[in-house]
Amino acid sequence: MSAKNDNHGRALLAILPYLWPRGELGLKVRVVLAVVSLVAAKAANVLVPIAYARAVDALTPKEGMGLVVALPVALVLGYGLLRLTAAALNELRNAVFAKVQARAGRRVALEVFGHLHALSMRFHMDRSTGGLSRVIERGTRGIATALNFLLFNIIPTIFEIVLVAGILWWMFGVSFALTILVTIGGYVAFTLLFTNWRLAFRRAMNDTDQEANTKAVDSLLNYETVKYFNNEAHEARRYDESLSRYETAYARSEISLNALNAGQALIMALGLTVVMLLAGNGIVGGTMTVGDFVMVNSYLIQLYLPLNFLGFAYREIKQGLTDMEAMFQLLDVPQEIADAPGAPPLAVADGAIAFRDVRFAYRPDREILKGVSFEVPPGRMLAIVGPTGAGKSTLSRLLFRFYDVTGGAVLVDGQDVRAVTQDSLRRAIGVVPQDTVLFNDTIRYNIAYGRPGASDEEVEQAARLAQVHDFVLKLPEGYRTRVGERGLKLSGGEKQRVAIARTILKDPRILILDEATSALDTRTEQEIQAALRDVSRGRTTLVIAHRLSTVVEADEIIVLEDGRIAERGTHGGLIAQDGLYAEMWRRQSEAVAAAEAAAIAQAQAQFGSGVSARSAEEMTKA
């Protein structure tokens, strides 16, 4: 329990710098003004029952004395003015502090967001996006909750309790003050102990809620795959299993909450009864007036409301701190890939690439690359081919520094990529990945993402080079067309061409094409290849390919097998070697020939004889 409380304490300490930000005098003034308003409001609030009591005494006729109207009227007006002042100061406090609270939440969320982007690909592959977004959402909401209840409920209530106890002690003796303090002490102790006990139920409820949300997001993101396998019922069962666990956790949390509320009500009822008995005894004994009785009753009612709220406030603060703790724990995750202290920016000259005895493993027990060495001269094209799982895409990730090598070095223009800033390295490299993911925004936004701030003319020119401009113009909304979640409204080929266009717009010195035309049909692939040849001219280009037809014109081809370079050379030279590359070429050529023959046969059966392979492809596409 102490460890958890320590974590909550660290979460509170972590938020303090955001409430008193350096260099922002305006926000600091707001904090001071909010505190002054809070203290003044509570002082006015404590005086309200006294004014009320004196008005009651003044309105109570005394034997042998007439009723003086002016005094009670003045007291009633004073009573009303104090209430109005307290309410106005409370609203002023809330209005003044609102910007401080919102700015703190904004700065923390932005810092966590930036830190998540700075974490390695390994971290993100091990975590679910839905779960991370939920942690940030809850954490920022937890900041608002904790600040509201702690600064504007718990601390003011404690301040008011101390004032009331002091006033009752001074006016009526220690018995009233002790009764108030014992009642409140018992109430607070019971609330803390019981709330800490039931916190496990609340955490279980949060965990099961996050689990259900993650499954829902994952299932909806993979909507198309679910449809392919008719697995809607399976996904519903998985989601319902999580909802069932949430249902159980929620019920336990609510039952424990009801028990807590019942215990709190019992303690308050006992305390109220004792205090009112003391006050009644004082009136009978002549030591207290009716006004005093009313004042004590008013104080109790005035304290009862925030005390009744205290349990809820404490629970919300605990939950808010728990959510903040989870968010701040993300900030504690170390950056696996970080700039070296004082690292200079990459000095891009010609864009030469060198891999020197590179070794790499995603897991210690399985090495992916085993001493790979090669160079790509400036402005030349190197293609990397090989069987699935040979480590082709891993090379591009190491060059882009998504991961660091476990042995050897990766150099750009003679500079180790680990010794320069990541920002400068990645500005020099453009990537068209195998698995293209687009933002749920417009086509224009997705292309312009390659260079934010690019003009419409530059965006459209990049689209022309990627052979996507004409397609976009045929859409009803043109470049304003939204592509849907992860680009699902576009076909695989259309998404790939948009990805190529945004890389063209980036205008990098080094180009990585990771299966850049894998989702395109043969004709479109040929058109894109022609465009890519123009784009890559004069740039150092690394091509990772499965289709060997796309790398025929590469200056050098490397064949990877089991993490090692099995063969290297030009297309003609590798065919002449009659090794692994030649075998892969024959298999793919046979597969292409078989596909063309099948397309011709299908087209001839549908449209008659005399149909060529290209015509057959166009007809089947149509």
- Residue 232's identity, in one-letter code, is E
Most confident of 23-32, 204-213, 440-449, 588-597: 440-449
* 297-302: average pLDDT: 78
State the number of CA atoms in the 13 A half-sphere of 189 facing the CB. 7
pLDDT of residue 424: 93
Which 3-state string (H, E, C) describes 198-234? HHHHHHHHHHHHHHHHHHHHHHHHCHHHHHHCCCHHH
More confident residue, 131 or 100: 100
Tens of pLDDT along 228-247? 788 889 999 999 998 999 99
- Under a CB-based contact definition with an 8 Å cutoff, are residues 76 and 291 in contact? no
- Under a CB-based contact definition with an 8 Å cutoff, are residues 8 and 322 in contact? yes
* 496-517: average pLDDT: 86
* 79-84: average pLDDT: 84
pLDDT of residue 604: 63
Separation between Cα atoms, residue 184 and residue 176, nearest integer Å? 12
- Quote the tokens at residue 398: 């190491």
For residue 583, is pLDDT > 80?
A: yes
More confident residue, 155 or 88: 88
- Quote the tokens at residue 19: 């409430």
- Quote the tokens at residue 363: 């897991």
pLDDT of residue 622: 46
Identify the band that residue 620 occupies on the pLDDT scale cut at 50, 70 and 90: very low
Separation between Cα atoms, residue 236 and residue 315, nearest integer Å? 33
Identify the band that residue 52 occupies on the pLDDT scale cut at 50, 70 and 90: confident
For residue 296, is pLDDT > 60?
A: yes
Tens of pLDDT along 302-344? 777 777 666 677 778 877 888 888 888 888 788 888 888 999 9
For residue 3, is pLDDT > 70?
A: no
pLDDT of residue 77: 84
Identify the band that residue 294 occupies on the pLDDT scale cut at 50, 70 and 90: confident
Share of the chain above pLDDT 90, in %: 19
- What's the topology of domain 358-586? Rossmann fold (3.40.50)
- What's the topology of domain 8-332? ABC transporter transmembrane region fold (1.20.1560)
- In 20-69, which ranges are continuous DSSP H helix? 25-59
For the chain, residues classed under CATH 3.40.50.300 are 358-586
Q: Please spell the DSSP secondary structure of 426-454, one letter per residue.
A: HHTEEEE-SS----SSBHHHHHHTTSTT-
For the chain, residues classed under CATH 1.20.1560.10 are 8-332
For residue 486, is pLDDT > 70?
A: no
Tens of pLDDT along 544-563? 988 888 888 889 999 998 88
* 77-85: average pLDDT: 84
Averaged pLDDT score across all residues of the chain: 82
